Amino acid sequence: MKTLGYYNGKYDSLDKMTVPMADRACSFGDGIYDSAYARNHRVYSLCEHVERTLESCRLLDITPPCSAEQLSDIINDMVSKVDANEQFVYWQVSRGCAARNHAYEEGMKSNLWIIIKECSIRDTYAEIKLISEEDTRFLHCNIKSLNLIPSVMSATRAKRAGCDECVFHRGDRVTECAHSNIHIIKDGTVVTPPADRYILDGIARRHLIAFCREMGIPVDIRPFTVDEMMNADEIFLTSAGSMGLRVREIDGKAVGGMAPCIMKRIQDRMLSDFIEKTSPELG
């Protein structure tokens, strides 16, 4: 199959899948999501993504549709059925179906959506351009909620400006990007914002911290300012589909480019982990 969709046990190609209009995801965006990439029909860091799915459900008082093991089994089975060697794997859990009412009933039966299509991760060594905007999102950015309209609008403005991403800041504090975590390198140290309500604790961000410590690269987990970002030795992004994209321009101003050796060590390590753990020879 070229694509594959799933809704509460029903499977078909994406162009044939439908969902009920009463699903609260349609009227309220009442749900959570997660995504990962697969190569050689192996999903990278699936366990970590599934664990985050259940944590997001807990934070929004959504009853999970199944156990972590069952969700992993469903996803792995679907990945095996899609022809493409490289795939984007997306899933979401909505609170359930009911007549439209802001207040939800206790213990609703949640709905599970899964979408799989051919897609590759970004070129790790590509250099990208950003725009910046004030972060006007709500204060639950730590939850991977379906409520993404600010990110949708900002990502579109970035695209119209000929850029790849939009970096957010609350006042002078840099938070994250529309769909990526952002980090800087200064004086040999990687600085990454703390995992609080202002950012999503990305799985790739967690890997970055672990890999830097493994390689002896100092990591400082703290907020940093717009001025610190603009004057950093390097600025880079991580997400499920990007293993350390170096930023070369923000709002039309050249940035970074002063710690290429550290930057490449990080990129090489993150990419090699993805390749190793999605190898067809992996037992």
**So which residues are the catalytic ones?**
144
* d(C-alpha 38, C-alpha 205), whole Å: 18
DSSP 8-class letter at 16? G
Per the structure block, which two tokens stand in for 263? 């930057």
CA atoms within 13 A of residue 35's CA, in its CB half-sphere: 20
The count of other CB atoms within 10 Å of the CB of residue 201 is 16
In DSSP terms, 200 is beta-bridged to: none
Whether residue 100 contacts residue 27, with contact meaning beta carbons closer than 8 Å, is answered with yes
Sign of the alpha-carbon torsion through 151, 157, 159, 162: negative
